[in-house]
Amino acid sequence: MDRAGLLALLEAHARRWPADTERAARIRDFIGAHEDCFLRTCRPGHLTGSAWILSPDHESVLLVHHRKLGRWLQPGGHADGEMDLLQVALREAREETGLASFTTPPGGDPLDLDIHEIPAHGDEPAHLHLDVRFLLVAAAGEVPRASEESIAVRWVRRERLGDFSDEESLHRMERRTREVLGR
């Protein structure tokens, strides 16, 4: 995927999810203003891809307890030059969970968009992550494992998400998952 393809994907996403219209516009504007937006060296931020991973039976979501941020989150990370953010989400899902195989809903369209600030850490200044998030379903029979970036990885029953996080964006992805799946 190239920039034009990503911009078209963002426009289609905003039509599907009108609540994301402003976030989609901000991400499109950022892409237009920053030639290096796919690189983590881009300041004041950069594009990222994330995965909202469902268990094969769709009853649970896989969360990682992020070591640096100290919170339960969905797997995701930096584009590092890759313009196809679904491929970024798949790469990060594999790296951060140890799972190898996933399916995506037909079309592979984003489930959610989020723009959030990453706090300064060490020599790294605070910056924005402009995150494009995709719904993935894990293959049966695989066992997740935590990566160096995480303290733990855990399947969480979807109805118990609130026990692990009060992050609105995670709850928004869960609501959208119910809409996409009809449950």
* Under 8 Å between Cβ of 38 and 83: yes
| CA distances in angstroms from 142 to 86, 94, 96, 97, 99, listed in the order given | 21, 11, 14, 10, 6
* Cα 174 to Cα 159: distance, rounded to the nearest angstrom: 9
For residue 182, name the pLDDT band (cuts at 50, 70, 90).
confident
Please list, in sequence order, all residues whose beta carbon lies within 8 angstroms of the beta carbon of residue 63, skipping any fewer than 6 positions away. Answer: 72, 73, 74, 153, 154, 156, 164, 165
Whether 108 shows a pLDDT value over 80: the answer reads no
Domain boundaries 3-181, corresponding CATH code: 3.90.79.10
Instruction: Take residue 78 and report the two structure tokens written for it.
Output: 């930096």
Q: Please name every residue paired with 146 in a beta bridge, in sequence order, or none if there are none.
A: none
Rounded percentage of the chain residues whose pLDDT exceeds 90: 85
Q: Please name every residue paired with 116 in a beta bridge, in sequence order, or none if there are none.
A: 129
* Under 8 Å between Cβ of 16 and 109: yes
More confident residue, 68 or 74: 74
Structural domain boundaries in the chain: 3-181
In this prediction the pTM is: 0.94
The predicted pLDDT at position 12 comes to: 94
